Structure 1
């Protein structure tokens, strides 16, 4: 008799705890799994620090690298990470124009993140819409759209970007457009494969039987179930877009000098490596490397967490 209250209490506690565990949303489960992954946590911390540095660049930068009146071109050129002749302390040194390298990196980081994130987001919207339409519309339209995707993917992304920039010229809007053109096909191919599986589910047949419009079935029912692989691809493509922008800027056909990015800063210091002024390229290259590695760490963790074949 003395064990009965204990048993009832434990049953009541178990029943009370079940809804709490069951009520955890997939988003919360994904975030929790990311925070328990050490490598992903390192990536999250690094990306957060880089984003904050880019957002607050005007407040954190010792000088405005675009303001020519602040530059000491005569005495401040190619100064290492120490005090220059004019008495100002440059933590990471200066470049060939006398700009504080730390300030230029903060503004360049802002430009690189803006180009990478915005181009990946717009390409995701375009590619996801085309992929959903291709999977849902029928065999003829699906075949036509996928042949366009195949043609797009058959060319190297950097070659397509080079052609567009050669035609359109330099500029941050031009390079964003070029990156969108090079990336949309990856999202279209990814979501098309998931949507082909989802369109055969029972809930899609139920939605059709209720005479719901096609756009409602696509974007309110099929799209949410295709998000996991799309999120993984989007994370990877952001890192790739930043790297591709840096490559194009390094080649001198990406962003103009008035809008320096990390790739352009690396390019500016490349000719001074042999003379020993390594810091002009080294520090921007290190930041670019850490940024891409951090985003890829998050993407790898998301791929493992959102894998439907994962045990448990």
Structure 2
């Protein structure tokens, strides 16, 4: 993998580690009301806390929460939603795509027509409708993103599996009367993984971006489970008054996360493409 790919992978791993260690890295629990002081509200970056000797390196928001702590907790929820929805959508899409490629005929036609119908709707529109029906929450938005993204993986898995199913090693496995699940999981799927992982990296960025958009609109996560999108929304009304840090810093962190995912996807694409593998 290229240096850019390794850089993006290390950066994503560091962000994931920071999110996992948020309760220990953050100077306060930004959503424990007992630790907040309204006198510390909207302090600029580098300000000293009024009630203790700490420093708010990235300032505070309108509730007096330390922005650095709030961003660590928000990153944790954004990555949780993105990774869970990506894994679930990848699993569902791969299973249906492999079945469509293997069985063909009416099974393939049925699954692909459902995929075509699902892809005809914008992902954000489908997620908005589902969240309007189910309400906000981490589990609800994960299911909404699963419903909005599984079709991408199903189409990709089917296309890659159709190529593999025409190869000699699959014909030999059939002659040996190996079980279908073994042929698909042990032989076909590993050869489809490079393409699927590239799509997964792209869709991880899309899932995190989509969740941030929905939370910014107030339809994603409740205020008790703030993601980076909700943190940006909380500070949006203060931008014109000069308190930029409440929205800008979470926005910059979101940009870093999305850029890392896209760089990783590009590196995986180059690695999977034999024409670019040596570049």
Q: TM-score range by the shorter chain?
A: over 0.9
- Give 2:122's aligned residue: 156
CA distance in 2 between counterparts of 1:85 and 1:71 reads 11
Which residue is equivalent to 2:43? 79
Q: Residues 89-122 of structure 1: CA distance to partner in whole angstroms, max 9, x if unpaired?
A: 2111111111111111000000000000110001
Q: Which residue of 2 aligns with 1:262?
A: 228
Q: Find out whether 1:56 has 2:16 as its counterpart.
A: no
How does 1:169-208 map onto structure 2 within 5 Å? 169-208=135-174
> 2:255 aligned to 289, 301, 305, which one?
289
1:200-279 equivalences under 5 Å are 200-279=166-245
Is 1:166 aligned with 2:136?
no
Q: For 1:184-230, what per-residue CA distance to the aligned partner results, in whole angstroms no more than 9, with x for missing partners?
A: 00000001001111111111111111111211111111111111100
Q: Give the TM-score, by structure 1 length.
A: 0.86
- For 1:245 and 1:72, locate their aligned partners in 2 and report how far apart those are by CA, in whole Å: 29
- Note the aligned Cα RMSD (angstroms): 1.1
Mapped contact 2:271–2:277 kept (Cα < 8 A) = no
Aligned to 1:93: 59
1:311 CA drift (Å)? 6.3
Looking at structure 1, the residues matched to 170 and 239 of structure 2 have their Cα atoms a distance apart, in angstroms, of 60
Match of 1:27 in 2: none
User: C-alpha offsets along residues 250-295 of structure 1, whole Å, 9 cap, x if unaligned?
Assistant: 0000000000100000000000001111000010000000111011
**TM-score, normalization by structure 2:** 0.96
Moved more, 230-239 or 80-89: 80-89
Q: Which structure would you say has the larger Rg?
A: 1
Partners of 1:229 and 1:51 lie apart in 2 by 23
Please list the CA deviations of residues 7-28 of structure 1 after superposition, one character each: whole Å capped at 9, or x if unmatched. xxxxxxxxxxxxxxxxxxxxxx
Alpha-carbon separation, structure 1, partners of 2:83 and 2:34? 32
- Tell me the equivalent position of 2:267: 301
Q: 1:120 to 1:145 in 2, by over 3 A?
A: same
Counterpart CA distance in 2 for 1:47 and 1:218 is 30
Does 2:103 correspond to 1:103?
A: no
**How big is each residue's C-alpha offset from its partner over 1:116-173, in whole Å with a ceiling of 9 and x where there is no partner?**
0110001000000000000111211101110110111111000000000000000000
Equivalent position to 2:8, from 43, 46, 52: 43
CA distance in 2, matches of 1:49, 1:210: 46
SS at match of 1:226: helix
The whole-number CA distance in structure 2 between the counterparts of 1:240 and 1:48 is: 18
Unaligned runs of 5+ in 1: 1-33
